[in-house]
Amino acid sequence: MRVLHVISAPGPGGATHQVRLLVRRLPHDHEVVLLEPSSGAPEGLPGPDRILARSDPGRPDVRALRAEGVRVHRVTATRDADLAAIGRLRRLIHHGRFDLVHTHLYRACVQGRIAARLAGVRPVVATEHHLGAAALEGRRVSPGVRALYRAGERFGQITVAASPAIAARLRAWGVPERRITMIPKAIDAAEFRFDARLREAARARLGVAPGVPLVGGVGRLDPDKRFDLLIRAIAEAPDACLLLVGDGPARPALERLAVIEGVADRVLFAGAVAHARELLCAMDVFVSPGSGGFGLAALEAIAAGLPVLYATCPPLEERLAARTPVRGTHRLSPRDRESLPRALRAELLCLAEREDARLPARAVASRYSADHLAAAVGRLYETVAGRPAVTPLSAPHGPGGRTSTFPLPGGNVRNA
């Protein structure tokens, strides 16, 4: 089966990493299209075909995908309702003779579904990795944003929600229940295993002395990630440094805030990376202060043996609700401004008293393994495409037990 992944990708992010986990494990012929605000495609190609050139090799996520043998394209999409981008996607889908289109994130889900229908490809799967209540990938969630999404959704067959919260928001937006299923995001825990040599090398490169506590956060630098709270909290921990891994539109504001708070010399911006293992090894405490989303970076930090302070992480919240919290994790209170500074001070104190550099391995990450993700998505592909089923898989249960199991119920997928 030829599968085309269409990803809204202004920069490296978690969606491209999830696709990399899939293409490594699924026995299909995968290609990827990155929808970007601007294109660095080589000059000299004739007319619109220039847009089908391979993407910038300098992007770490592109390098990682190519290392898996995946062909990567780029399409410029300057706005959500970009008819030119839809036309280019349609040509790429048609000429590539793809059997199935899998879209990821808002803009790709809107444009990719329509382009696939125009190209005559009916099997279309969409994955919503992030869907905040008030903000969505840097845009305000307005009635127009919701209406455009619903218009595009009619051209797909099934939408995968990465968490129960995302599934609930899709239903609130008007997406029919029968067209939603839940497959959690995944990690390959072995990829994040702690390595003392990587820690030493990373800290040397960052200029962080061996004994200095290093607090870290990973994610796209968007306002809803609330890394501003983390910068303010580090101002109350004078012996620690802060490392932010990722890039995005909020970076200039965060850099200014670090200056205002008097901590610019202790806040390090690493930029976007294809894989965070080395930098996670360099950290001592991981903090995820933003609301919404799945909290995948927190699971990666757990796999790396880090203590984790988090505001939102459905897998950890599920364990907390079951009164089996994951050791070394602490949920922050969204209504208490002092929750993060207080928890960070306490964790840094524990760090000073702990003998081992890392916490022991914790099993929460194994429930969200990349093998489970690939098997579940592979099953979905076969169902949507109307092909013989593969080995059945039950996805992990989310809160409330609403997670779909595979094979899917007959009414859960239909041709639009």
Higher pLDDT, 223 or 200: 200
Question: Given this model, what pLDDT does residue 252 score?
Answer: 97
Digit-coded pLDDT (tens) for 9-23: 765 667 888 999 999
Question: Given this model, what pLDDT does residue 51 score?
Answer: 35
Residues 200 and 357: their CA atoms lie apart, in Å, by 12
Both tokens of 377, joined, read: 């998505």
157 three-state secondary structure: coil
Higher pLDDT, 366 or 395: 366
Higher pLDDT, 50 or 367: 367
Residue 392 — very low, low, confident or very high, per pLDDT cuts 50/70/90? very low
Question: Given this model, what pLDDT does residue 366 score?
Answer: 65
Residue 42 — very low, low, confident or very high, per pLDDT cuts 50/70/90? very low
Question: Given this model, what pLDDT does residue 415 score?
Answer: 31
The stretch 305-315 carries a mean pLDDT of 92
Question: Given this model, what pLDDT does residue 4 score?
Answer: 97
Question: Given this model, what pLDDT does residue 58 score?
Answer: 61
Digit-coded pLDDT (tens) for 189-214: 888 999 999 999 999 999 999 999 99
Residues 53 and 97: their CA atoms lie apart, in Å, by 17
Whole-Å CA distances, 315 to 134, 163, 252: 22, 9, 32
Report yes or no: 84 and 94 within 8 Å, Cβ to Cβ: no
Residues 166 and 45: their CA atoms lie apart, in Å, by 41
Neighbours of 225 (CB within 10 A): 27
Residue 365 — very low, low, confident or very high, per pLDDT cuts 50/70/90? low
CA Rg, the chain, in Å?
21
Q: Is the model's pLDDT at 410 over the cut of 50?
A: no
Question: Given this model, what pLDDT does residue 61 score?
Answer: 76
Domain borders along the chain are: 2-186+369-412, 189-366
Digit-coded pLDDT (tens) for 124-134: 999 998 876 66
Higher pLDDT, 2 or 272: 2
Higher pLDDT, 135 or 167: 167
Residues 6+ apart with CB under 8 A from 147: none
Question: Given this model, what pLDDT does residue 142 score?
Answer: 81
How does the average pLDDT of the chain come out, rounded? 84
CATH of domain 189-366: 3.40.50.2000
Whole-Å CA distances, 124 to 109, 218, 259, 384, 414: 10, 31, 47, 8, 11
Phi and psi at residue 244, to the nearest 5°:
-110, 125
Residue 394 — very low, low, confident or very high, per pLDDT cuts 50/70/90? very low
Instruction: Write the DSSP assignment of 319-381 as a string of letters.
Output: HHHTT-PPTTEEEPPTT-TTHHHHHHHHHHHHHHH-SSSSPPP-GGGGGGBHHHHHHHHHHHH
Question: Given this model, what pLDDT does residue 377 score?
Answer: 95
Share above pLDDT 70 across residues of the chain, in percent, rounded to a whole number:
83
Q: Is the model's pLDDT at 53 over the cut of 80?
A: no
Q: Is the model's pLDDT at 389 over the cut of 60?
A: no
The stretch 52-66 carries a mean pLDDT of 63
pTM of the complete model: 0.77
Q: Is the model's pLDDT at 328 over the cut of 60?
A: yes
Asked if the domains at 2-186+369-412 and 189-366 fall in one CATH topology, the answer is yes
Residue 44 — very low, low, confident or very high, per pLDDT cuts 50/70/90? very low
Digit-coded pLDDT (tens) for 241-272: 999 999 988 999 999 999 999 999 999 999 98
- For domain 2-186+369-412, the CATH class is alpha beta
Residues 6+ apart with CB under 8 A from 365: 187, 189, 299, 300, 302, 303
